[in-house]
Structure 1
């Protein structure tokens, strides 16, 4: 066994034994980073400069950004396709981490994450999408309602397509605190939660007073992050499934928000 693989397996063992405190620390770091980004974006907002750009140039920049994110995500998926085999380093890391979690986690932790993960189930997310869409239509925010539905529904449809392309089998999970079927890669709970709650935070930024902006983004970030990693804690997804779900969710969310902003600015002009 080579040195890199030995270190990867040792890391998986350590993460499995300390999963809950590591996840809590990572969540704190994510929220700090998000807070810094929101404050910095407020202070150095590029919107004023963007309004002075020629519209074709602005369109090109946004399209290039979206295409770049999608290409980077596609490249990540292509690399992962080559290492799903259990003989490869990432495959063995996934297996060792899942085995350690199954052995080390107490029932109380599994019960907590089993309840938390339901916030990313298809039914609650679908009801949220319908409710927010109706509310936007009632408030005559037709373009936002269309963008909201396309972004959220498109993420779900694309995730299904990707699952059938990769056809990765899920890890075994017999603890009874969560059930999941179908293919594993990428994690639909992760990408769906990131897109739906991320889009909801975007709507809050657009429609609510400034005092609600930071809390909205922080809550969305905490939900998406926690729901995504709950799938690993519950052993219904491999860790690489969740990483891929985050990558796909960020890519799709970036493209959708860029498209909505381009449409809005062109209409206003």
Structure 2
């Protein structure tokens, strides 16, 4: 049944709420489209940036102005992410259109998503669990340390530990209740905003991609970018499909993780270029 027919108070609803309800009614096709666009877009972007990166490397080592520009760009991105996070946080109550849209999307997904899809997402979401990423963190750090990539090993561990500390602190500040569901496939007891799985996914798989770009041959770069994008999008969307998070929780988690990822990668790149300059001096 169309959302308009099921809501007698439709004239009082904002377009955002109506859109969210209609999106939830067709959430699976939209997800598959988003997943395909993200994977293909990440692969294309990696391919283009890779060609430019190696062309610059062949010409010369990055200069101070170029490094400064990169850090300024990262700083602006962090500010934008923080501003959007703050806007979401101030508009998630039920009295705001964003809060109403969250509920409309969740209710529409609960009414329309097939049980089989829920089961699949209940498996996939474990790729963002701390119980899974914790051993991965230790294993990757051990491999990097053994191959004498000790700076990368330290950066990798600090990146994951940092988001593990940051996200629960933010949850306690906002103390938002989770959506209510009865499918029995996922159980969460902590607060909802922001999504820890989404933040952890973008930091963990984003850092894995960075490590891959730094340590593996070029032929692995594009497939790695595509795999990382697919994992991040799927884990983040699984939290909405399983109705353990509202959509705004997931977006806020991705923004939090992106900001921290930029800080970590930026710090590692700055340290690498300083070391290169010292070696060439």
Give the TM-score range, shorter chain: over 0.9
Q: Is the 8 A contact 2:82 2:259 kept in 1?
A: no
Q: Tell me, yes or no, if structure 1 residue 30 matches structure 2 residue 38.
A: yes
What is aligned with 2:111? 103
Q: Does residue 166 of structure 2 align to residue 158 of structure 1?
A: yes
Question: What is residue 121 of structure 1 aligned with on the other side?
Answer: 129
Structure of higher CA gyration radius = 2
8 Å CA contact 1:194–1:250 kept in 2: the answer is yes
1:226-257 CA distance string (max 9 Å, x none) = 00010000000000011111112222112211
Structure 1 residue matching 2:148: 3-state secondary structure: coil
SS at match of 1:73: helix
Corresponding residue of 1:78? 86
2:14 aligns to what SS in structure 1?
helix
Report matched runs for 1:46-61 at 5 Å.
47-48=56-57, 51-54=61-64, 57-61=65-69
For normalisation by structure 2, the TM-score amounts to 0.89
After superposition, the C-alpha distances for 1:99-118 in whole angstroms (9 at most, x for unaligned) are: 11111122111101001101
What count of residue pairs does the alignment treat as equivalent? 267
Q: 1:200 to 1:52 in 2, by over 3 A?
A: closer
Would the aligned equivalents of 2:103 and 2:246 in 1 still touch at CA under 8 Å? yes
> How much has 1:33 moved relative to structure 2?
1.4
SS at match of 1:197: helix
* Residue-by-residue CA offset, 1:120-178 (whole Å, 9 max, x unaligned): 11110111001100111111111010011111111121111211122111111221011
Deviations 1:189-222 (A, max 9, x none): 0110111111111111111111111111111110
RMSD: 1.9
Q: Is the 8 A contact 1:155 1:192 kept in 2?
A: yes
| Whole-angstrom CA distance in 2 between matches of 1:98 and 1:22 | 14
